[in-house]
Structures are given as structure tokens and as C-alpha cells.
């Protein structure tokens, strides 16, 4: 990997790689899969970086690549194993309040359909606005607003179920 | 406004995407409806949980194949200025050579013939050139050679 601090690619990598990795983790990919996906995204980005004219939009461009790689991996059925491992963690690991909260939210997200989970994470974790999500998902802004509302309804239901249990 | 429409507006309001014309309507309904206020509180709790979800450190280089980023795929690119300069040079050279070939007067074909101790330049016709070449490679006469050798 390049280590030159002045290299624009290194700068982009340092800024975006942790965010993408954590985004994949929140999408329930294992550490290994999330790391692989992050590598794949940046391998593609490395090849195509010279094509990027507007450096202000590097973030949106990376999200597009990330979205494509994640979708390909889902289609290839190289599926995450966190759902299975999450069940085994339930009793043993979650000791503090924060761990309980994280676990509850993660399980609630896991129970949601892929599209809804992606929508919520783009908004709540990655902080993308409706226009950016519309660009990434190929929807209209109105459709994004409606989809996010439906995703929130689902997430609240799943979250409250786990709160009660 | 019914509660479902209110929830949809709350969702947009949490994302700071609510239309200014919708805001009074939303807050009027929220003031009257405890269920919708609770729905909004639940959403804020979930958001709060998202914010407290700790960031995980990216696995260090080499641990999970992060070294797999292929440096070789980053092809070397000739700086644009150099590429333009090289292109311009080729064009100029091409134009110069093209102009020289088409405009230079080649003149009448000539040959330089060795003649004793001096060099004489003479103009040749096509027939001359053939006969000259023939004489150059012809075998010397056998009788003359004997006389010259005293035999």
C-alpha cells in the first residue's frame, strides 16, 4: 500500500476507509468481509481515480463503488456470518448498557430487509442527504423520503420488540 | 392530518428535509397527539443509539488482506505537458520532412567516375549508366594481359 502522505489516494484512503469499513460492519458483514469489501472498493477507486474530475464529489463516488461491490457480494451469496454469530453473543457478551444497546440496534437492523437497512445506514450513519441517497439508489427524492419513512417504521418495530424481550 | 402522515413528516423533519409549508402542520398535530410525540421520541432514541454505536478500527495492514490493494494497477501516466510536447514535436518534424521531400530539386542524375588521379563528374543518360556499369565489372581481355606480361 502507498504510504506517501502527499499522495491524493492515500489521503482519500485514510479519510474514507474507516468510514466504509464501519458502514459495512453496520450492514452486518463480518470484520473479514467488511475489510475485504473495503479493499475491493479502494482497488477499484485506485484504478479510476484519474477519471474523477470533481474532487469534491469523491465521497459520493466512493459510496457508489461501495454500493456496487456490496450488491455484487450479496448476489454472489458470499453472505455474512454475523447473524449466526450475533445469536451466540446474546447472553455472554452483552454486559454493559452500551453493549446491550448496540446489540439491540444491530439485531433490529439485521431483521430488516436489505434495502431498508441500506437506506437507514446511508442516512443515520453516513449522514447522506436525500439527494445523495437518490443518486446512489437511482430513486427520486420523493421516493427516498417515503422509503426512509417506511424503513424507520420497520426499524422502530424491530427495535421495540427487542426492547420488550 | 392523520398520524401516518404525521410520522412521515417526522421522518423528514429528523432529516432536516421537511418543507417549510409542512412545519406548522406537523407541530400543530404533535401538540395534540401524544402517540405521535412518542413516535418521534422513539426515533430520536434510535438515532441516539446510532450515534453511540462505537466505531471499529480498520484492521491493520496485512491482517485482513488490506495489502491486497494492487499498486501495480496504478499505471504510470506520462505528464500531460510532456505528452503534448512530444505530439507537437512529431507534427513539426513530419511537416518539415514532408515539405523538404516535396519541394527539394533533385536535379539531373549524375555519377562520379574514378579516372586516374582525378575525379570527373559527368552527366549520364540511362544508356550510359548501364554501359558504364557493364564496363566496370567486365573481365580484362586475355591477349592484352599476356602481352603486358611479356609472354
Mean pLDDT, to the nearest integer, of B67-88?
69
- pLDDT for position B52: 83
With an 8 Å Cβ cutoff, are B46 and A130 in contact? no
Residue A78 C-alpha, separation from nearest chain B C-alpha, in angstroms: 16
Characterise B107 by phi-psi region: left (phi > 0), alpha (psi -120 to 50), beta (else): left
Q: In angstroms, how far apart are the furthest CA atoms of chain B?
A: 145
Nearest-by-CA chain B residue for A13 = B69
DSSP A2-60: ---TT-HHHHHHHHHHHHHHHHHHHTT--HHHHHHHHHHHHHHHHHHGGG---GGGHHH
Count how many pairs of residues, chain A against chain B, have C-beta atoms within 8 Å: 95
Confidence of residue B34 (pLDDT cuts 50, 70, 90): very high
- C-alpha to C-alpha distance for B50 and B33, rounded to whole angstroms: 26
- In A, which residues are within 8 Å of B71 by CB distance? 1-2
Q: Model pTM? A: 0.59
For an interface test with A, which of B46, B57, B67, B83 has the most A Cβ atoms less than 10 Å from its Cβ?
B46
- pLDDT for position A5: 54
Determine the angle formed by the axes of helices A130-137 and A141-164, rounding to 10 degrees.
100
Highest mean pLDDT among A2-16, A144-158, B95-109, B127-141: A144-158
Nearest-by-CA chain A residue for B48 = A124
With an 8 Å Cβ cutoff, are B8 and A145 in contact? yes
A 10 A CB-CB count for A120 gives 22
pLDDT in tens, A90-139: 444 444 555 666 778 888 988 888 889 989 998 988 888 899 899 888 89
Higher pLDDT, B86 or B56: B86
Question: Which residues have a Cβ under 8 Å from the Cβ of A41 and sit 6 or more positions away?
Answer: A20, A62, A65, A66, A69
With an 8 Å Cβ cutoff, are B42 and A21 in contact? no
- In B, which residues are within 8 Å of A2 by CB distance? 71
CA angle (A7 as vertex; A4, A8 as ends), nearest 5: 150
CB of A8 less than 8 A from some CB of B: no
- C-alpha to C-alpha distance for B22 and B28, rounded to whole angstroms: 10
Cα dihedral value A50, A51, A55, A60, nearest 10: -130
Contact by Cβ (8 Å): A135, A60: yes
Question: Which residues have a Cβ under 8 Å from the Cβ of A149 and sit 6 or more positions away?
Answer: B7, B8, B11, B12
- pLDDT for position A90: 47
pLDDT in tens, A52-100: 777 777 888 888 888 888 887 776 654 554 454 454 444 444 445 556 6
Nearest-by-CA chain A residue for B73 = A47
- pLDDT of residue B70 exceeding 90: no
Amino acid at each position: 500500500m502507498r504510504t506517501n502522505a502527499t499522495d491524493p489516494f492515500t489521503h482519500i484512503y485514510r479519510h474514507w476507509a474507516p468510514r466504509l469499513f464501519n458502514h459495512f460492519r453496520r450492514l452486518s458483514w463480518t470484520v473479514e468481509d467488511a475489510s475485504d469489501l473495503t479493499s475491493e472498493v479502494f482497488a477499484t477507486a485506485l484504478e479510476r481515480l484519474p477519471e474523477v474530475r470533481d474532487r469534491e464529489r469523491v465521497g459520493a463516488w466512493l459510496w457508489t463503488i461501495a454500493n456496487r461491490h456490496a450488491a455484487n457480494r450479496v448476489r454472489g451469496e458470499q453472505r455474512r456470518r454475523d447473524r449466526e454469530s450475533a445469536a451466540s453473543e446474546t447472553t455472554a457478551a452483552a454486559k454493559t448498557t452500551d453493549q446491550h444497546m448496540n446489540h439491540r440496534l444491530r439485531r433490529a437492523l439485521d431483521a430488516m430487509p436489505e434495502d431498508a437497512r441500506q437506506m437507514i445506514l446511508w442516512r443515520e450513519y453516513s449522514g447522506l442527504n436525500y439527494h445523495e441517497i437518490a443518486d446512489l439508489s437511482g430513486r427520486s427524492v420523493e421516493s427516498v423520503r417515503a422509503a426512509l419513512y417506511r424503513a424507520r417504521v420497520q426499524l422502530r418495530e424491530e427495535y421495540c420488540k427487542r426492547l420488550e424481550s | 392530518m392523520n398520524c401516518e402522515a404525521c410520522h412521515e413528516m417526522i421522518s423528514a423533519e429528523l432529516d432536516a428535509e421537511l418543507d417549510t409549508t409542512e412545519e406548522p402542520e406537523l407541530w400543530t398535530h404533535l401538540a395534540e397527539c401524544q402517540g405521535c410525540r412518542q413516535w418521534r421520541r422513539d426515533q430520536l432514541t434510535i438515532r441516539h443509539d446510532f450515534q453511540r454505536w462505537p466505531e471499529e478500527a480498520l484492521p491493520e495492514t496485512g491482517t485482513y488482506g488490506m495489502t491486497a490493494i494492487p499498486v501495480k494497477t496504478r499505471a504510470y501516466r506520462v505528464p500531460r505537458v510532456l505528452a503534448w510536447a512530444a505530439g507537437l514535436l512529431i507534427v513539426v518534424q513530419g511537416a518539415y520532412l514532408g515539405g523538404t521531400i516535396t519541394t527539394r530539386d533533385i536535379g539531373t542524375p549524375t555519377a562520379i567516375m574514378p579516372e586516374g588521379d582525378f575525379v570527373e563528374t559527368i552527366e549520364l543518360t540511362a544508356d550510359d549508366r548501364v554501359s558504364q556499369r557493364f564496363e566496370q565489372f567486365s573481365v580484362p581481355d586475355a591477349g592484352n594481359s599476356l602481352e603486358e606480361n611479356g609472354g
